[in-house]
Structure 1
Amino acid sequence: MSSINGTASPAAQESQYGYTPHEGIAILFLTLYGISTFLHVAQATYFRMWWLFPTACLCGIGELVGWSGRLWSSFSPDLGNPYLMQITTTIIAPTPLVAVNFILLSRIIGRLGPCYSRLTPRLYTRIFLSCDIVALVVQALGGGIASSSQTIATANLGSNIMLGGIVFQFVAICVYTALGVDFLRHYAASRPVRALISSSERGVLDARLKVMLAALGFSTLVLLIRSVYRIVELADGWHGKVITTEVYFNVLDGGMITLAIFTMNFCHPGIFLGSPKGDREGMLMKQLPGSSASSLA
């Protein structure tokens, strides 16, 4: 992909970043992601929440690979392999973390009362996890095309495909957020939007659930900020001001994902949400034939 940079500037000829990544910053983020990933593995094992391995843990591993590439580039800024290694993984890695938010909202809705939600908890996981998988595939396809390109046209094609995947993911997060806010509004007003399955369907919003909701809201916010940054970055092009300014990447990508992944360490669903077996829809669905309400447990 060296042809992307062509003869744009002396800095571009020296480094595909347009700058040389700072070694200390790379080490800092590697340390932070290493700690968070280790904690997620330990917490997922302790609470037997195996779905966190292909989501939060996978995100941490992907970020470690990406920031390893940036650390490598801090010593050899002119090499192509570490650049490709970091640009592909840091774009794709947060996608599994977004899935954590999708799953958690469905669990919270199941706990507080599915009658206040436009969608059932099962539909939340099916629809939004499917969107997440599509976004992941599209971003990976774009990254593969860009990293193997030999011409500027092919590199731009890969960039545009990655941009499409990120925009699709951004839209999915926005729709998910709007539905989540709508659910909370109807729950607070005790105004069901769907027929009650049982007279005792309304759950109690206790202190732990409030913490989990606050953590979910904060995590969603920083992931949205990161998505907006990536959209602007890729739309600006390979030589644009955004992609060639290191501080934007460090703060708006590395920083935002660090906040999101640590939020789920400090406000872990195993502590503040507990087992999905307690979800009201989960208990009710178990009574129905062919149910698999706990399939994501």
Structure 2
Amino acid sequence: MSDAYIDYLPNLSANAFFAALFGLIFMLQLGLGVWYRTWPHMIAMLPGLLLEILGYVGRVLLHNNPFDFNNFLLYLICLTLGPAFFSAAIYICLGKIVIIYGENISRFRPRTYTTIFVSCDLLSLILQAVGGALASQGQDGDTSTSDTGVNIMIAGLAFQVFSLLIFMVLASEFALRVRNSPKSENDDFTSLRQSSKWKMFIFCLALATITIFIRSVFRVAELQGGFSSPLANNEVDLMVLEATMVSIACIAFTVAHPAIIAGRTWSSL
């Protein structure tokens, strides 16, 4: 398989499973988003889920023909870009969480968190998309342009990791301020904050953030070594650190969908 774009045949069952799983989550997110009218959350989640589906379809097609460059790009670009949309969904949630606990507790206004981090996510997405477009030129033998594209993709992913890290620091700092200022909390949402559903939502949001962060660090390391590196050609690592991590994040976001927790109140915050 020296002429193939990866040094192994992708496992058909595993990749078909993840394509189907993300397809199911897509339908659930669509239904919940339309029913509860959580448009920003739905708009953030659905493109990411569609990219995940296409990415694993690309890997299924690579199982049948590992020499097809278009299928390789479908897998590479879609699975690289998808989680950036999930990060945006996470960032949108923090602004609403600040309102529910109390804006006066927060260091920044709720909209400030959303604007800054969604903007960072958009920049990361643009870098990854441009990098993917340039990397696709490798089919024509333009290795210099292809290498430049890969480097831009790495820069986009690295920026995503940095943004997530800063987000986790600021979210943790806000949590500490909440803990130290219990009397300043928003009285309108006391019953919501005390419910088991809300605690599950916070746990699932933290879990989604950590798993997307782990996945993003993995993809930086994977692309840094190049397409021929051992890490880029180890399907077990990909299934664990990419597929499983992103799946956990998406399942967490579905089980603890914001509207399931807060109802249509969420969309009005």
TM superposition shift of 1:105: 1.1
What is the identity percentage for the equivalent residue pairs of Structure 1 and Structure 2?
Answer: 27
Structure 1 spans left out of the alignment, 5+ residues:
1-10, 279-293
For 2:153 and 2:221, locate their aligned partners in 1 and report how far apart those are by CA, in whole Å.
12
Report which of the two has the higher share of helix. 2
Q: Larger radius of gyration, structure 1 or 2?
A: 1
Q: Is the 8 A contact 1:109 1:117 kept in 2?
A: yes
Residue of structure 2 in register with 1:206 after alignment:
194
Matches within 5 A, 1:42-53: 42-53=31-42
- 3-state SS in 2 of match to 1:219: helix
- 3-state SS in 2 of match to 1:237: coil
Counterpart AA for 2:28: L
For 1:179 and 1:276, locate their aligned partners in 2 and report how far apart those are by CA, in whole Å.
25
For 2:254 and 2:46, locate their aligned partners in 1 and report how far apart those are by CA, in whole Å.
11
The total of aligned residue pairs comes to 264
For 1:164 and 1:276, locate their aligned partners in 2 and report how far apart those are by CA, in whole Å.
38
The reply to whether residue 54 of structure 1 matches residue 71 of structure 2 is no
- 3-state SS in 2 of match to 1:56: helix
Q: Is the 8 A contact 1:112 1:202 kept in 2?
A: no
Counterpart AA for 2:263: G
Runs of 4+ aligned structure 1 residues displaced above 6 Å come to none
The reply to whether residue 93 of structure 1 matches residue 108 of structure 2 is no
For 1:266 and 1:200, locate their aligned partners in 2 and report how far apart those are by CA, in whole Å.
26
Once the two structures are superposed, what CA deviation does each residue of 1:105-150 show, in whole Å capped at 9, x if it has no partner? Answer: 1111111012222211110111111111111111000000001232
Counterpart AA for 1:224: F
- 3-state SS in 2 of match to 1:243: helix
Mean CA deviation greater in 59-68 or 266-275 = 266-275
- 3-state SS in 2 of match to 1:239: coil
Mean CA deviation greater in 84-93 or 50-59 = 50-59
Residue of structure 1 in register with 2:149 after alignment:
158
For 1:90 and 1:255, locate their aligned partners in 2 and report how far apart those are by CA, in whole Å.
12
Q: 1:88 to 1:172 in 2, by over 3 A?
A: same
Structure 2 spans left out of the alignment, 5+ residues:
none
TM superposition shift of 1:153: 2.2
TM superposition shift of 1:245: 0.7
TM-score by length of 1: 0.84
RMSD: 1.9
Which of these residues, 2, 8, 11, is aligned with residue 12 of structure 1?
A: 2
Counterpart AA for 2:149: G
